[in-house]
Amino acid sequence: MNTIYTPNNLLVTGGAGFIGTNFVHYWLEQYPDTRIVVLDSLTYAGRYENLQPLEGQPNFRFVEGDILNQSLVEQLLRDEAIETIVHFAAESHVDRSIYGPDAFLKTNIDGTHSLLKAAKTVWLDEKDEYEHRFHHVSTDEVYGTLSATDPAFSEVTPYAPNSPYAASKAASDHIVRAYQHTYGLKTTTSNCSNNYGPYQYPEKLIPLAISNLLQGKSVPIYGDGQQVRDWLYVDDHNRGIDLIIRQGRLGETYNIGGNNEQTNLDLIHTLCSLLDERFPDSPHVPHKNQITYVTDRPGHDRRYAIDNSKICEELGYNPVETFQSGLAKTLDWYLEHTSFWMDDGIELFGAHAESN
């Protein structure tokens, strides 16, 4: 049985983005006696409005700032007595990384290194053996691509990233590992499959499809639509991170998956059917008529799949949501929050539905 680690004061980087936002809400609901400080630079995909309901609570603080600002991070660690960092902040849109990789290398590699240097300075150099955790949130894309018959990615699968985004996350994983082994920083890493759920910026496959289908617009699918992804409901991801922070073995990597492989085309057909049921009188029924096909993007990985047996066996993890229940919850949220995806200020990169 692993020793239980109990966080008190957490710094959550990228906490105004999709997964980070959901993590903050999840954590404060589960552990209302803890304190969270969110650090986010509010780039195009980060929204302060996601966290606004928490303002004024004594156990929450939002700081607009960049993870590359090492002195700011160090000051927050000292002033807020932070002993736990949960690192979500990242550039994550594969299409953007293909056409503008510099920002991905700067944020995902240099930014992660800046955080690690700050943590080492305050937790190790200044405080000496200070009890702490640094949890790094990564992606299954570091492992590359699979054929239809290959076994799923495990924690010992060799890294073979195929996009600038994936390569930048792979590099950050290695830097985190190096700080654990070289300096003794107490780190853990998780590599997750494709997330979906509330607050996801509408350039990703599911929210973009919901938005376009409801507005009678086409839903463009790359290539033949047979790319396979393992879909993970965002709060199932957060449950996994929670277990890793509290019970995970130091220096270890854990894969978090949803046990749900779907082709992009099957996913969109499922979503179209859901909308047909919800809105039978819509002029857009059947919604599948809005599907269009566009030229595949460069280096598009064919299949991702996660073997999450390690976290299940060691930490008792098990996804709660089925794909059907998770997709229904996601659709409900977007229907209740139309301003999130109909905002004129949304900055889409092209108009392609991509799944990472």
Flag whether 296 is in a domain: no
Q: Is residue 338 part of a domain?
A: no
pLDDT at 351: 44
SS3 332: helix
How far from each other are the two terminal CA atoms of the chain, in whole angstroms? 36
Closest CA to 92 of 40, 208, 146, 14: 14
Contact 84, 37 (CB under 8 A): no
d(CA 160, CA 75): 37
For residues 356 and 304, the model is more confident at: 304
Prediction pTM value = 0.94
pLDDT of 340 above 90: no
Q: What's the pLDDT score for residue 349?
A: 40
Total Cβ atoms within 10 A of residue 345: 6
Q: Is residue 227 part of a domain?
A: no
Residue ranges making up the domain that contains 66: 9-200+232-258+304-319
145-181 exposure pattern, b = at least 16 Cβ within 10 A, e = fewer: bbeeeeebbebebeeebbbbbbbbbbbbbebbbebbe
Indicate whether 277 belongs to any domain.
no
Residue 25 covered by a domain = yes
To 5 degrees, how large is the angle CA 249–CA 229–CA 111? 55
Is 220 among the domain residues? no
- Could you count the other beta carbons within 10 Å of the beta carbon of residue 276? 16
H-run or E-run covering 25: helix 18-30
Across 31-40, 95-104, 285-294, least confident range: 95-104
Q: Is the previous residue joined to 286 through a cis bond, with omega within 30 degrees of 0?
A: yes
Active site residues: 140-141, 165
pLDDT of the residue at 298:
84
Tell me, yes or no, whether 101 lies in a domain: yes
DSSP string, 208-252: HHHHHHHTT--EEEETTS--EEEEEEHHHHHHHHHHHHHHPPTT-
With respect to residue 280, please indicate whether it lies within any of the assigned structural domains. no
pLDDT band at 341 (very low <50, low <70, confident <90, very high): confident
Both tokens of 237, joined, read 């991801």
Residue of 68, 89, 79, 69 whose CA lies nearest to 12: 89
pLDDT of residue 355: 52
Task: Give CA separation, 73 vs 24, 132, 187, 244, in Å.
Answer: 18, 15, 17, 23
pLDDT one-digit tens code per residue, 24-42: 999 999 999 999 999 999 9
Q: Residue 49 maps to which CATH number? A: 3.40.50.720
- Number of folded domains that form the chain: 1
Confidence of residue 347 (pLDDT cuts 50, 70, 90): very low
Q: From CA 34, how far away is CA 266, in angstroms rounded?
A: 41
Q: What whole-number distance in Å separates Cα of residue 132 and Cα of residue 134?
A: 7
